[in-house]
Amino acid sequence: MKKKAKNSHTYHQPLERSLLLADVCEMYYLEGLSQAEIGRRIGLTSSMVSRLITEARERNMVDIHIHRPLESDFELENELISQFDLKAARVVTIRGYEFSYMKYLGEAGAQIFRQYIQDDQVIGVAWGTTLSAVVDAFVIEDLIPSQLVELTGAMGSRSSEYEGHGIITRLANKLGAEYHYLNAPFLCSSKATAKALYADPIISQPLSLAGEASLALMGIGSLDPEMATVLRFGYLSKSLVHSLRASGAVGNVCGLYFDIDGNPACAEFCQKIITISKESLLNIPDRIGVAGGRDKVNSIIGALRGGYVNIMVTDNLTAQSILDEIN
């Protein structure tokens, strides 16, 4: 008769499968035991242990974080600063867009953001997938008393993780800050509706506070027909995006659309949106823009030429493409 392995765990019927999966993963990932050692400890074969580990990962019971150090390309940073008269630039090195570049952008953006935060500061915050990555990566040891305010109206509730309300709430919880929603739609049905909303104190007060901000954290949106966030999440229709592109727009910051030279574009469209004005935005001393990707090259060029952003965070592939495009 086969002896039971020493220190073995016994799982009685009904099998507590979740506890079994947790035990196996703790032994494998935390204690560093091999699958054979785990099998001997709990009386299973190595192949059975392997299947349990796979099942645990498929059930999202395991989170694996790789703390890869960020490498900066100082030459590209200096080139961007020189070409666009920026206050600062951070260019994180990536191997390719397929290698989790959004995560690296988020980490680089979070690092730059930490450098510019001060106590008792009003901070304007936009929305988007890249900003969501920045907030995910943001870590701070001591709370910083400050006020966060949304810079643009809501696009909808289809992806609350990337929406302004969700982003500003998550960031406020990490900072221990007060936060102020801009409780209005981004795009109104008419100019008259937008004008009426601007007159309402519920809208005018947070926008007034946004005008007092000394720091802004923003993404840069593109109008790429395949990659644009506003299309992928259904915020804007294909016909409207086509119309914006036809008018010369290449991208936006806070919904303020511009052409490749940074000049305002889509005047008709911009009269129907609720967002901070370009004048108020450009009065914010430190305007951090975080963006990267093949589809963002012209958008970033327009944003930098128009002064919408004066502190740029991007990746080396995008930065090189920007410099190739303008030279």
Residue 229: partners with Cβ closer than 8 Å, 6 or more residues away: 128, 129, 162, 221, 222, 235
Question: In whole angstroms, how large is the CA radius of gyration of the chain?
Answer: 24
User: Does residue 158 register a pLDDT over 60?
Assistant: no
User: Does residue 7 register a pLDDT over 50?
Assistant: no
DSSP state of 89: E
What is the CATH T-level fold of the domain 1-64, as seen in this structure?
Answer: Arc Repressor Mutant, subunit A (1.10.10)
Per-residue pLDDT reduced to its tens digit, 14-52: 457 888 898 998 999 888 899 999 999 989 999 999 999
Q: What is the pLDDT of residue 230?
A: 74
Are 1-64 and 74-326 in the same CATH fold? no
Q: What is the pLDDT of residue 1?
A: 41
How far, in Å, CA of 299 to CA of 84, rounded? 14
In the chain, domain spans: 1-64, 74-326
Q: What is the pLDDT of residue 99?
A: 66
What end-to-end distance do the CA atoms of the chain give, in Å? 79
CB 170 within 8 A of CB 135: yes
Bridge partners, residue 312, by sequence: 89, 289
Q: What is the pLDDT of residue 73?
A: 95
Per-residue pLDDT reduced to its tens digit, 51-69: 999 999 888 888 876 666 7
Instruction: Tell me what the mean pLDDT of segment 187-191 comes to.
Output: 91
Share of the chain above pLDDT 90, in %: 63
Q: What is the pLDDT of residue 66?
A: 67
Instruction: Tell me what the mean pLDDT of segment 235-241 comes to.
Output: 80
Greater confidence, 97 or 144? 144
CA geometry: angle 83, 87, 108, nearest 5 deg? 100
Closest CA to 242 of 271, 277, 269: 269
Band of pLDDT at residue 249, cut at 50, 70 and 90: very high
User: Does residue 89 register a pLDDT over 70?
Assistant: yes
Greater confidence, 262 or 238? 262
Closest CA to 175 of 117, 216, 109: 117
Instruction: Tell me what the mean pLDDT of segment 199-213 comes to.
Output: 95
**By mean pLDDT, which of 85-94, 181-190, 278-287 is the weakest?**
181-190
Its pTM stands at 0.80
User: Does residue 157 register a pLDDT over 60?
Assistant: no
User: Does residue 213 register a pLDDT over 50?
Assistant: yes
Share of the chain above pLDDT 70, in %: 90
Of 38-42, 77-81, 172-176, the range with the highest mean pLDDT is: 77-81
Per-residue pLDDT reduced to its tens digit, 268-317: 888 999 999 999 999 999 999 999 999 999 999 999 999 999 999 999 99
- Give CATH for domain 74-326: 3.40.50.1360
Q: What is the pLDDT of residue 175?
A: 95
